[in-house]
Structure 1
Amino acid sequence: MSSETKSRKPARKMRTQRPPTAWDIDADEKRNDDGDNWAVLLLTKIFTSQRPVAELVIDYTNCDKAGPTFVRIPENSYSVNFPNSDSNGEPPEYKAIWGVGSANNITWPTTKCTVKINLPVKLIKPVFVYYRLTNFYQNHRRYVKSLDAKQLSGVARDASELKGGSCDPLATVLENGVLYPIYPCGLIANSIFNDTFSLFLNPLESTTNNNKSYILTDTGISWKSDMRKYGSPGYTNLSAIRPPPNWKKFPNGYSEDSPPMDLSKDEHFQVWMRTAGLPNFRKLYSKNEQDDLQSGTYTIDIDMNYNVTSYGGTKSIVISTVSFIGGRNPFLGIAYVVVGVLCVVLGLLFTARHLYKPRRLGDHTYLSWNQNAAASNAATAHPATSATATGASVRY
C-alpha cells in the first residue's frame, strides 16, 4: 500500500517539488484582535469623514410643469445637507420658461428651467456640480459594447467597416440610397446627457453683485486614462459622415460652419462614455477649485434638452463639496460601520475564546494523524488496559 502510494508521487525535480513563493502571515489571537481593532478605527473614521460634506440635490424632472412663476419644489424632490449650519435655508423653488431654438433655418421648442436656492453657509472650495440620473441602465451588455474604439481614437472608419459591428443599429444611416457612417457611432454616444447648467449669485451681504456668475469649468473632470482613448476626428470630408440621430445641435448634419466636436478635448463626452455600473448614478459636470461658494441666494439656469420621462427616470443637479475620500455617500459609510461593528463583535469573541481556553499557535498535536499516532502509542505501552477496554482476555 505504501509503495503504491509513493509510486504516485511526482518526480523529484526542481519544477515539481519546489514550493511556490508565498507570504505566510504569522497570525495569532493577539494579532487578530489588533487587526479587528484597527479595522474598527479605520472604517469608523471613513464614515465620520463624510459628515462635513455639504450637499444639495434637486430633482428638476418636472420643472417644465411648474409654469412661468416660481413655485416651491416638492419636499421629496430635493435633499439638503449643510453640516456647519443650524438651518438648511429656504426651500428651493423653480420655474419654466418656454422658447424656440433655431439653427440653420430649423426651429424647435425649448424649455429653460430656473432653480432658485438659498445657501445659509459658505461652501469651501473645491465645489463640484454633478448631474444625477435614475433608472438608466448603462450597464446593459448591448449598451456597454455599443461603440467603436478605433473611430473614437481618431481613425476614419467608413460605413462598410462600421456596418454589422458593435455600433449597430446606430453605426450607419441610409440617405437617398447612400450609406453614411455615424460619427461617433453607437448607443452610448447617441444618448449623451445634453442639459446645461449656469450658476448665478445674489449674495446676502451685497446688493451690487446681482446675477454674478459663479465660474464653473469642465477642464479636468475626465480621468487622464480616459483622455488617452480619444482623438480628433479623422474624417476630412464632413459631408460624408452623419451625427447621431439624437444630437439636435446638428440639425443639418456636419459642415465647415458646424463641425463635429473634438473628442480628445470634450471632457463631457469622455465622462459620459465611462458607463456606470448601477441604474442610479451621478457624473461630474463641472467644478470650481479656485473660489468658495459664498452664502446667498442663487439661480441655476438649466437648458432642459434631455428626455428622461420616456424611460421612467429622473434627473437632478447636485452641488457638493468633498472630503479626503470623495463626495457624500451614505451607503458606503453605513456599509463601513456595519463591517466595523462586525469586527468589534468578532474581536470580542476571539478575545474571550483566547482567555477562556488559550491554545499555542501551530500546535501539531491537534492534527488528526498525530492524535491517531498518540492513541496507538498509548495502546502499545499499556496492552492490558487496551485489551480490557476492548473486552479481550489476557493470559500471563
Structure 2
Amino acid sequence: MPSQAETEEDHEQQKSKKPADTAFKQQRLPAWQPIITANTALPVFLIIGLTFIPIGIVLVITSERVLEYDIDYTDTKCLSTGTQDTCAQVLEKANYTGQTCTCTINFSLDKAFDGDVYFYYGLINYYQNHRRYVRSRDDNQLLGKEGDAASDCQPYQKGNYNGTDKNYTPCGAIANSKFNDTLYLLYNGNVNVTLTNLGIAWSTDKAVKFKNPNNAATYFSSYPKPPNWQITAWDLDKSNDDNNGYQNEDFIVWMRTAAMPTFRKLYRKLQRNSGGTFENGLPQGNYSLVVTYNYPVTSFAGRKQFIISTTSWMGGKNPFLGWAYIAVGIVYLPNDERLIVDYSCAWQKEILIQGRMYISQNYLCFYANFLKWETSLCLKFKDIVGITREKTAKVIPNALEIRSNKNDKYFFASFATRDKTYAMIFRIWQTVLIDQPISSQQLWNMIHQCYGNDLDMTTDEEDNYNKQENSSTSDKNSPNQQTKNETNDKHCAVTPNSVCSKSSEKEEIDDHSSISSCGGRQIDDDNYNDDYNISIIPINEQANRNTLIRQTNLDINKQDNSFIAMPIIQGFFCFLFYIKINLKKKFLNVETTYLTKCPCQSHLATQLIDRTYSMPVERLFDYLFGDNDFVVAYHASRRIKGFHMEFYYCVFYYVNLFSIDYHATEWNLNEKTEKRERLCTYKVDVAAVFGATTICSNEKQVIQCELSKSHYIVDTEVRNEGIKYADAFFVASRYCLIQTGPNKSHLKVTCEVRYIRSLMIIIKCKYKLIFLNLILLNEYIPIG
C-alpha cells in the first residue's frame, strides 16, 4: 500500500504544468536554422524563376488553344408575346402575368469545336459572396434529414402551405434564386443539338452533400416550394429520378456559390453519339440559341451570357494562371539593379510631397507615403534628356529639375546638399547614355563615397571589393603601373592639328574628384582610365593626332579580375552571357550590310573632314551632337564666351551642362518636314581691332536622314549677329556619318557660304561715300 508521501508527490506531478522530460517536449531535437545570404537566396530565386516561366508559357499556350464563343442574350426581343419589348422588359412590367417569354439568337461558328464541348450560363454583376447570402442554406435539409429548417434560411425559412407554416424545400436565399432559364441549340435551323445534364456537377457533391429524403415524391409534395420557383424540386427532372430533387445536378451546380461578381456555371455537355452529326464535336456552321427567358437581372443591372467552350488537359480557358506563373518567375529572377544612394527630398506637384529619391544603375525613383497616401515615380535614365539645378521659389538653391523625352518635367526640392546630389545623378546618367556599365569596383566607390566606409556589410561582393582595392593599392607602386598612370595623365586639347600635351594642373571638386585643365578627367577609381579612356584612334593614324573622344572597351574576351572573385551565381550569369554572344556570332549567322558610300546626293563646296574612326556611328553622332567632353572642348577651342578650357571641364560633370552664353534645345520632330531638328545659340569671342569683339550665333541643326546603326546626315545653318554684313549671308555645313564596319564609322564634313542678298549695292554705296569724302577733303585743304 503506497505511503501518504508518495500519494502527495503523485498528486503534485498531476497538477504540474511542466512539459514531460522528452526531447520533443523540451525542444532538444536537432533543427536546421539556415542563415540566408546572397549565395543561398539567389540560386533559389533563379531556380524558381527558371521553373515558373516555362510552366507559365506552357499554360498560356494551352489556354490559347481552347476555343470559346459567348453570346449576351440579356436584351433579346421577346417573340412569344407579340410585342416589341425585350424579354427583360416583359419580366419587369408591373402587370406581368407569368406568361413564358421566348427568344431566339442566330449565330455562326467560324471554326469547328472538336472534342468535348461544354455549355455554360454566365451572370455579370451578380454577388453571390455576400455573407448572409452564403449562409442562407440548411445543409442538414440538403442531406435529406427531416426537421425544422435552420434560422439562417430567413426570410426564406418557412411558407404557408394549406394554412400551415412549413419549411420551404429547399430553404434559403441561395436556393430561392436558382437560375431557371431554359437553353437549347439548333444546328442549321432544324437539327437539335443533343445536350446532356448528367456529369455537370462534382461527383463528391452529389454523393456526399446532397441526398433526397425517404419517399422523396411524397415529401416534396407535402412542403411548399421556394417563392421564386415555378415547379417543385421533384419536378426538376421528371425523366430521371436519380437526377431529381436535391440531387438534381443543375441545382447542385447553383448551390456552389461563386466568389466573384462575374462568373459562369456549367449548364450542359455535348452528347457525342456514335455516327451522329456531333460525333466529333460541334461542326462549323449556323446555329440558333432558343431561350425560355425566366430569370430577371435588370433589377441589379446584371447581364446574362451563354458560353460555348472546348477543353484541354488543364480545363477550360484560363489565361490568368499562365500569366501568373510567368509573373512570379520574372519576379524571382535575380535583378542586376543595385541601390547606389538615396536622398531625402520633396517632389513638387500640386503641393510639395516629402519623400525619398532612390538612385540605381539605370533608374531614378521617388516614393512617398503620407497617411497611407502613396506617391511613386520611376524613370529610366535613358529616358532623361536633361538635368538642371534650380532654386525653390527662385531664391533657395536646393532643387533639381529633370526633363524626360516625353516633355515631362519633374521638380525636386529640399535637397540638403544639392550640388553633391546633382554631381552623383549626373555622373550615373552619363554612364547610362554612353552605354558604359558601372563596374563593381566603381559601384562600391560611389556607395562608400555617399555613406562612408562603415556600412556594416559582410557580403561576398563587399569582401571582393576590398580585395580589389588592396590589390590595386599594392600595384600602384610597381614601375609598370607608374608608367601606365603617366600615360593616362596625358590629355588632348582640341584644335584641328593639335598634339597631346601633358598637364599637371588639377582642380578639386566637391565630391573629391579632380578634373584636368586640358580635359582629361581623373576619377577616384584607380582602374577608371582602363575601362573609360578619353581617346580616339582613327584607322591607320596615331592617337596623338586625333580629336578628343571617349572610347569604351569592346573586347568581350577581356575579363576583369572582379569576375574571378565573384560568387558562383554571378559566374553562372557570365557563362550564360558568353553562350549568348557565341550563339549570336556562330550559329545565327547574322550578317550586317554596311554602306560603302554616302547616301546623300551631293556635298557642299569646301571639304573640312574626311576621316574614318574606330567607333559605331551612334557613338560618333553622340560625340558631335550630344552633351559630352568633345563638345565642351570644341566650344572652348572656338573661344565661345564663358568656355575656358580649365574652368569648363570642372563645370561639365558636376555643374550645369551649358553656361548662360550657350543654349541648345532638345531634338524635336518637325511635323511639316517630319525631321528632327534643334536650335543652338551661343557667343564667340573674335580678335577684332575695331567693332564688336563678340559674335552672337544662331545655329539650326536638322537631321535630313537617319538610320540606326547605318548613317546620319545632318545639315546646319549658322547665322551671325553683331558683325558687318551678317544679315547678308550664312554658313551652311553638312555632316555625313556612315557606319562602314562593325566598329568603324566614316565622317565627312563639308561647308559653304550662302548669300541671302547681293553685296554689290553695299560696296557701291560705300565707294561713292568714300569718293565724296575725298572731294570734300581736297576742298578743305586749300582753305586751311
- In proportion to residue count, which structure has more strand? 2
Q: Distance in 1 between matches of 2:22 and 2:111?
A: 72
Deviations along 1:242-275, whole A, 9 cap, x unmatched? Answer: 0000002359x99xx9999833541000000000
* Map of 1:170 onto structure 2: 156
Q: Does 1:112 align with 2:102?
A: yes
Deviation at 1:239, TM superposition (A): 4.8
Deviation at 1:238, TM superposition (A): 4.7
* Map of 1:4 onto structure 2: none
* Map of 1:179 onto structure 2: 165
Q: Distance in 1 between matches of 2:458 and 2:139?
A: 59
- Helix, strand or coil for the counterpart of 2:286? strand
- Helix, strand or coil for the counterpart of 1:34? helix
* Map of 1:212 onto structure 2: 191
Aligned letter for 1:130? Answer: Y
Candidates 103, 117, 120, aligned match of 1:127: 117
Deviations along 1:35-56, whole A, 9 cap, x unmatched? Answer: 2111111112212211111111
Aligned letter for 1:222? Answer: A
* Map of 2:46 onto structure 1: 33
* Map of 1:232 onto structure 2: 212
- Taking structure 1 as reference, are residues 307 and 36 closer, same or farther at Cα in structure 2, changes over 3 Å only? same
Aligned letter for 2:264? Answer: R
- Taking structure 1 as reference, are residues 233 and 115 closer, same or farther at Cα in structure 2, changes over 3 Å only? farther
Per mean C-alpha deviation after superposition, the further-off stretch among 335-344 and 316-325 is 335-344
Q: Distance in 1 between matches of 2:78 and 2:70?
A: 19
* Map of 2:177 onto structure 1: 191
- Check conservation: 2:88, 2:296, Cα contact below 8 A: no
- Taking structure 1 as reference, are residues 258 and 155 closer, same or farther at Cα in structure 2, changes over 3 Å only? farther
Per mean C-alpha deviation after superposition, the further-off stretch among 179-188 and 45-54 is 45-54
Deviations along 1:350-371, whole A, 9 cap, x unmatched? Answer: 9x9xx969xxxxxxx959xxxx
Query: TM-score scaled to structure 2, two decimals?
Result: 0.35
- Taking structure 1 as reference, are residues 32 and 311 closer, same or farther at Cα in structure 2, changes over 3 Å only? closer
- Taking structure 1 as reference, are residues 194 and 266 closer, same or farther at Cα in structure 2, changes over 3 Å only? same
- Count of equivalent residues: 303
- Helix, strand or coil for the counterpart of 1:144? helix
* Map of 2:292 onto structure 1: 303
Candidates 286, 297, 312, aligned match of 2:268: 286
* Map of 1:275 onto structure 2: 257
Q: Distance in 2 between matches of 1:272 and 1:23?
A: 49
Q: Distance in 2 between matches of 1:258 and 1:216?
A: 14
- Check conservation: 1:114, 1:302, Cα contact below 8 A: yes
Deviations along 1:136-195, whole A, 9 cap, x unmatched? Answer: 1111111111111111111122xxx22x61111111013565211110111111100011
Q: Distance in 2 between matches of 1:214 and 1:109?
A: 26
Q: Distance in 2 between matches of 1:194 and 1:281?
A: 16
CA RMSD across the alignment: 4.0
Identify unmatched segments of 5+ residues in structure 2. Answer: 1-18, 91-96, 273-278, 339-360, 362-438, 442-456, 460-784
Identify unmatched segments of 5+ residues in structure 1. Answer: 1-9, 72-94, 100-106, 203-209, 358-364, 368-396
- Taking structure 1 as reference, are residues 13 and 230 closer, same or farther at Cα in structure 2, changes over 3 Å only? closer
Higher relative contact order (CA 8 A, sep 6+): 1
- Check conservation: 1:113, 1:302, Cα contact below 8 A: yes
Aligned letter for 2:59? Answer: I
Aligned letter for 1:41? Answer: P
- Check conservation: 1:97, 1:111, Cα contact below 8 A: no
- Taking structure 1 as reference, are residues 348 and 122 closer, same or farther at Cα in structure 2, changes over 3 Å only? farther
Per mean C-alpha deviation after superposition, the further-off stretch among 123-132 and 41-50 is 41-50
Deviation at 1:20, TM superposition (A): 7.7
Deviation at 1:332, TM superposition (A): 3.7
Q: Distance in 1 between matches of 2:105 and 2:211?
A: 36
Matched-pair identity in %: 36
Deviation at 1:68, TM superposition (A): 9.2
Q: Distance in 2 between matches of 1:324 and 1:282?
A: 19
Deviation at 1:24, TM superposition (A): 7.8
> For the pair shown, which has the larger CA radius of gyration, 1 or 2?
2
- Helix, strand or coil for the counterpart of 2:153? coil
Written as runs of structure 1 = structure 2, the 5 A alignment for 1:154-169 is: 154-157=144-147, 161-162=148-149, 165-169=151-155
Q: Distance in 1 between matches of 2:179 and 2:163?
A: 31
* Map of 1:361 onto structure 2: none
Query: TM-score scaled to structure 1, two decimals?
Result: 0.66
Deviation at 1:23, TM superposition (A): 11
Q: Distance in 1 between matches of 2:62 and 2:34?
A: 34
- Helix, strand or coil for the counterpart of 2:63? coil
Deviations along 1:264-292, whole A, 9 cap, x unmatched? Answer: 54100000000001111000001126331
- Taking structure 1 as reference, are residues 224 and 49 closer, same or farther at Cα in structure 2, changes over 3 Å only? same
